[in-house]
Amino acid sequence: MADAQFKQQIENALENKTLRGALGRFVDTYSDAREKAYEGYDVEALRDQVVEVKAYAAEHLDEMIDKFEKAATARGAKVYRAKTGEDAKRYILELAKKQNVQHIVKSKSMASEEIHLNQTLIDAGMDVQETDLGEWIIQMAGQRPSHMVMPAIHLTKEEVADEFTKNLHYHNDPEISKLVKTARAEMRKKFMEADMGISGANIAVAETGTLMMVTNEGNACLTSTWPKTHVFLVGIEKFVNNFEDASSILQMLPRNGTCQQITSYVTMVTGPTPAYYPDGTIKDKDFHIVLMDNGRRKMYEDEKFKKTFQCIRCAACLNVCPAFQLVGGHVYGHIYTGGIGIILTNFLNSPDDTANPQNLCIQCGRCNEVCAGRLNISEMILEVRNRIGEQKGLPFVQKFALDVVSNRRLFHSLLKIASKAQLPFSKGQPMIRHLPMFLSGLTKNGSLPTVADVPFRDVIKTIKQDVKNPKGTIAFFGGCLIDFVYPHIGEGVVRGLNEKGYKVTFPEGQSCCGAPASYMGDRLNARKSAVINIEAMNAEDVDYVVSACPTCTHALKDSFRDLVADDPAMLKRAEELNRKTFDFSKLLYDLGGLEPGGDGKPLKITYHDSCHLKRSLGVYKEQREILKNINGIELVEMKDSDRCCGFGGSYSIKFPEMAGPMLEKKLKNINNTGAEVVAVDCPGCLMQITGGLDKENSPVKVMHTAELVLEKWTK
């Protein structure tokens, strides 16, 4: 699908007030409801258990399959191993034809959605009826699931009533209790006439050949017991070794997915159950289990993606995703939706199906925090993005811009030119509020800062560092924004570290950290930047390397190692850089923090947590302790302080229509605190939030922690 078409899909979803309202209400309440569901449980210990049992099963996959088949066959099941989705469809279709099946009922199965099983059976003249209420609704509406656990979350009761009326040919009122009663009556008829039932499974227990289904409606029980033929379609990633291993998943799946302590039904099927025939006879039903690969082994064998077998399909990653909240799964996904959906689609369907949706990931990392299997979903999506970039290339303008950024001398020269060329737009003010013609989108959601007259690389030469008997030397990595837009932050970094007895240097050879290239899928230019900066920072000759931009810190500590892993000598230097690199607040805190002091003037502030600083680097307490030691500061926490502000580097430029609503929510939470200042530790967040507040003509200021140290504490 062309980018223009995808952009139109985004616009349509954003204009759908019903969709925005339904997703917004759910996502806004999810975190609190999840926390309540886990009361009395050690959620991190449960996550560890899930990782252990799922990783073990994946490492012993063939053993699990053999053990399962042996146990299931001994209990009367017929087990078929399907290498591809086509194999699975062919087996089920031939079985249905052989038994002259006319009517099929299905309980919820994303695996069947994955291979378009319904359409194959319908094309063969069979009546296929979804029996999960949400699945039935979207089947009537001719749609696909928008959420892996709650497939019809995007529809209102009025829209559901209209679909019932249109498809059932009698009037239905938009009252939930009446709609459920109607569904129950209609479904019962379908169950009674069904020749075949088809089910998915949440868990497959290898030791006993047992399949488990976790549901809330009871339809899975009826699907597996009423028809004379029953087929399970199960992905080979669903295995655990035994019942004890399954228990941790059963404890996490409902709590993570729907914030329930347990679902209404946990159905366990071990072998065929009796089937009651019209002539009054009772026989064991014809019971089949299709174990489907369809790209799963390939996914596991890929070192970057093997941990996907630890996913339990709880869809928690969708429930906290700011992008999913805005547009839902019909835009952010293919068949599998949201963050994990991008990864699954890439292997189980086609990389082409992920090409557009993967761009909607803003890399905030909230998904990683709640994933039951501890997957680094955002990192995996970034890997998908880079592989697409390598295979298909980037658009010319985007590629040209990244080529410029990775050329240090050219990039820095252009920024110096920009500091003069911006004057007609800034009119001498520190913010640019409007840009003309095709550039107007850059100022749609907020004003932009001007490029500094003097970059920090020149400012630092004028700073007198009066440090007697220095304890050591710290190399400062400024990053593009501090060096060329916010040099005042750099001054605060120097002053704060001088107070701890260290001299600060600014290596001249440093350039962009390469994050823009990485996040846009240009691994080649990201690697160029990594090499430039590893050589420039020369970590071997300093005590520490400090950055005041979490994105840069993350690049220096983690990304560089991956990018130069093929060069042993460079990797060794990257490892040294990793060991010595700290974000400013973290290093200042570890060096002893600030002694209580400052100007004592009352100042009410709130704090916004940068995504990279909190989630990638685990820093969120340290900066608060630093700020509390500045006399006069009153720190008031805002709601959802760690919710993404919508900056995401190039994201706010590529998708201003997505970044805008994210920023609006952040500004609302800021304004509700009554704070005079928003403290941040990320120059990108500072730029995004400042621009939004300026657009509102708000008196609230945004300041980096280093600036507050400089202005409120430094003697």
**pLDDT of the residue at 447:** 72
What's the predicted TM-score (pTM) here?
0.91
What six digits make up the tokens of 494?
Answer: 């120097």
Among the listed ranges 274-278, 324-328, 506-510, 697-701, which one has the minimum average pLDDT value?
A: 274-278
How many CB atoms neighbour CB 148 within 10 A?
A: 24
**pLDDT of the residue at 87:** 98
DSSP 422: T
Q: Is residue 623 very low, low, confident or very high in pLDDT (cuts 50, 70, 90)?
A: very high
**pLDDT of the residue at 180:** 87
Per-residue model confidence as pLDDT tens digits over 524-563: 999 999 999 999 999 999 999 999 999 999 999 999 999 9
- Residue of 536, 515, 518 whose CA lies nearest to 386: 518
Dihedral, CA of residue 441, residue 445, residue 447 and residue 448, to nearest 10: -60
| pLDDT value at 419 more than 70 | no
| pLDDT value at 360 more than 90 | yes
Assess contact for 583 and 683: CB atoms under 8 A: no
Integer Cα distance of 670 and 25 in angstroms: 19
| pLDDT value at 442 more than 80 | no
3 state SS for 141-172: HCCCCCCCCCCCCCCCHHHHHHHHHHHHCCCC
Assess contact for 255 and 38: CB atoms under 8 A: yes
Beta strands in 441-554 (DSSP E): 448-449, 472-477, 502-505, 544-547
What six digits make up the tokens of 89?
Answer: 């469809």
**pLDDT of the residue at 437:** 41
Q: Is residue 420 very low, low, confident or very high in pLDDT (cuts 50, 70, 90)?
A: low
Q: Where are the alpha helices (DSSP H) in 80-156?
A: 85-98, 110-114, 117-123, 133-141
Q: Is residue 285 very low, low, confident or very high in pLDDT (cuts 50, 70, 90)?
A: confident
**pLDDT of the residue at 96:** 97
Q: Mean of the pLDDT values across residues 618-633?
A: 94
3 state SS for 252-290: HHHHHHCCCCCCCEEEEECCCCEEECCCCCEEECEEEEE
Single-letter code of the amino acid located at 504: V
How many CB atoms neighbour CB 418 within 10 A?
A: 12
CA of 585: how far to CAs of 120, 574, 644, 679, 713, in Å? 58, 22, 20, 12, 14
Assess contact for 95 and 79: CB atoms under 8 A: no
Residue 524 CA, chain-centre distance (Å), reads 24
Report the percent of the chain where pLDDT is more than 90: 70
Find tokens 């369809």 and name the residue: 294
Assess contact for 359 and 653: CB atoms under 8 A: no
Q: Is residue 401 very low, low, confident or very high in pLDDT (cuts 50, 70, 90)?
A: confident
| pLDDT value at 255 more than 80 | yes
Assess contact for 81 and 291: CB atoms under 8 A: yes
**pLDDT of the residue at 134:** 86
| pLDDT value at 95 more than 50 | yes
Among the listed ranges 115-119, 277-281, 355-359, which one has the minimum average pLDDT value?
A: 277-281
Angle at 607 between CA 605 and CA 612, to 5 degrees: 160
Helix (H) or strand (E) holding 656: helix 656-673
**pLDDT of the residue at 438:** 40
User: What residues contact residue 253 under an 8 Å CB cut-off, 6+ apart?
Assistant: 202, 214, 263, 312, 313, 314, 372
CA of 551: how far to CAs of 556, 559, 651, in Å? 9, 10, 14
**pLDDT of the residue at 226:** 86
Assess contact for 239 and 204: CB atoms under 8 A: yes
Return the SS3 of 604. Answer: strand
Among the listed ranges 361-370, 438-447, 501-510, which one has the minimum average pLDDT value?
A: 438-447
- Residue of 84, 58, 64 whose CA lies nearest to 309: 58
| pLDDT value at 282 more than 90 | no
Q: Which residue has the higher pLDDT, 714 or 394?
A: 394
**pLDDT of the residue at 443:** 56
**pLDDT of the residue at 217:** 86
Integer Cα distance of 237 and 696 in angstroms: 50
**pLDDT of the residue at 530:** 96
Q: Is residue 1 very low, low, confident or very high in pLDDT (cuts 50, 70, 90)?
A: very low
- Residue of 383, 703, 642, 684 whose CA lies nearest to 526: 383
What backbone phi and psi angles, to 5 degrees, belong to 491? -60, -40
- Residue of 648, 646, 677 whose CA lies nearest to 659: 646
- What are the respective helix, strand and coil percentages of the chain, to the nearest 5? 55, 15, 30
Among the listed ranges 151-160, 408-417, 486-495, 677-686, which one has the minimum average pLDDT value?
A: 408-417
Assess contact for 644 and 611: CB atoms under 8 A: yes
Length of the chain: 715
Q: Mean of the pLDDT values across residues 620-633?
A: 94
Q: Mean of the pLDDT values across residues 376-389?
A: 95
Residue 263: left (phi > 0), alpha (psi -120 to 50), or beta? beta
Assess contact for 600 and 631: CB atoms under 8 A: yes
**pLDDT of the residue at 435:** 45
What six digits make up the tokens of 297?
Answer: 């082994």
**pLDDT of the residue at 277:** 67
What backbone phi and psi angles, to 5 degrees, belong to 351? -55, -30
Longest dimension (CA), the chain: 99
What six digits make up the tokens of 350?
Answer: 């086609």
Per-residue model confidence as pLDDT tens digits over 120-153: 999 999 999 999 888 888 888 888 888 888 888 8
What backbone phi and psi angles, to 5 degrees, belong to 519? -75, -10
Integer Cα distance of 368 and 51 in angstroms: 13
Integer Cα distance of 282 and 273 in angstroms: 10
Return the SS3 of 697. Answer: coil
Q: Is residue 245 very low, low, confident or very high in pLDDT (cuts 50, 70, 90)?
A: very high
Give the chain's mean pLDDT.
90
Q: Is residue 444 very low, low, confident or very high in pLDDT (cuts 50, 70, 90)?
A: low
> What per-residue string of b and e applies to 440-463 under the rule 16 or more CB within 10 Å gives b?
eebbebbbbbbbbeebbbebbeee
Integer Cα distance of 475 and 714 in angstroms: 20
What six digits make up the tokens of 460?
Answer: 């630092």
Report the percent of the chain where pLDDT is more than 70: 93
Per-residue model confidence as pLDDT tens digits over 202-224: 999 999 999 999 988 888 888 98
DSSP 638: P
Q: Which residue has the higher pLDDT, 464 or 186?
A: 464
Among the listed ranges 157-161, 349-353, 490-494, 696-700, which one has the minimum average pLDDT value?
A: 157-161
Which of 284-288, 345-349, 400-404 shows the highest mean pLDDT? Answer: 345-349
**pLDDT of the residue at 416:** 65
Q: Is residue 440 very low, low, confident or very high in pLDDT (cuts 50, 70, 90)?
A: very low
Helix (H) or strand (E) holding 574: helix 568-580
What backbone phi and psi angles, to 5 degrees, belong to 423? -55, -40
Q: Mean of the pLDDT values across residues 46-57?
A: 98
Integer Cα distance of 342 and 351 in angstroms: 9
What six digits make up the tokens of 529?
Answer: 């930047």
Assess contact for 607 and 678: CB atoms under 8 A: yes
Q: Mean of the pLDDT values across residues 322-329?
A: 93
Beta strands in 496-552 (DSSP E): 502-505, 544-547
Q: Is residue 441 very low, low, confident or very high in pLDDT (cuts 50, 70, 90)?
A: low
Q: How far apart are the first and last CA of the chain?
A: 59
Which of 58-62, 109-113, 163-167 shows the highest mean pLDDT? Answer: 58-62
| pLDDT value at 228 more than 50 | yes
**pLDDT of the residue at 146:** 81
How many CB atoms neighbour CB 7 within 10 A?
A: 14
